[in-house]
């Protein structure tokens, strides 16, 4: 099921140490491990969960991950505020 193609995922292959963990933890097959080396194969599938960046020891991956609670975000949009903390 496709969704908004835009996300905040950034990957710098030069920093990659070829551990392959990004491909292991991604729930949407965004990364593929090429003998350990991360290759970004489906960036538009990224849901910004942040698992790859969290487990990347060299900081080669960056993504603004956030808990996507729509009602909190909507309240912010209605009130013209930007703060988004998640409901429990």
Partner 1 sequence: MDRLIHVLARAGVRRNEWRVSPGLYRLGAPGPNSPVFVSANYKLSFDALREALEGVDCYILVLDTKGINVWCAAGKGSFSTDELVYRIERTGLADVVEHRRLIVPQLAATGVAGYEVRERSGFRVTYGPVRASDIKEFLESGKTSDKMRLVRFDLKDRAVLIPVEAKSALPIALGASTLAYLAGDPIAAAGITAASVSGFAGVPALLPWLPGEDFSIKGFFLGGGVALAASIAALRDDGASLPIRLVRAASYALLLPPIAAFASLNFTGCSTYTSPTGVRKEIDRYVRLMAGMAASGLIMNVAQRIARAAKG
Per CB under 8 A, residues contacting partner 1 are 1-4, 6-8, 19, 21, 24-29, 45-52, 54-55, 57, 64-71, 73-74, 77-78, 84, 86
Q: Which of 47, 77, 78, 83 is nearest to 65 (CA)?
A: 47
Minimum distance, C-beta of residue 15 to partner 1, in the bound complex (Å): 14
Q: How far is the CB of 84 from partner 1 (least distance, A)?
A: 8
Q: Which is nearer to partner 1, 15 or 54 (CB)?
A: 54
Per-position b or e across 69-82, b if 16+ CB within 10 A of its CB: eeeebeeeeeeeee
Give me the least distance between CB of 24 and partner 1, in Å please.
5
CA distance 39 to 12: 10
Helix, strand, or coil (residue 16): coil
Nearest to partner 1 of 13, 42 (CB atom): 42
């Amino acid at each position: 099921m496709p969704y908004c193609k835009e996300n905040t995922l950034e990957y710098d292959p030069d920093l990659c140490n070829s551990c392959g963990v990004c491909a292991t933890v991604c729930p949407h097959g965004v990364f593929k491990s090429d003998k350990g080396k991360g290759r970004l194969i489906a960036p538009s599938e990224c849901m910004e969960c942040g698992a790859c960046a969290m487990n990347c020891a060299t900081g080669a991956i960056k993504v603004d991950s956030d808990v996507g609670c729509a009602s909190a975000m909507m309240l912010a949009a209605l009130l013209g505020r930007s703060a988004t903390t998640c409901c429990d």
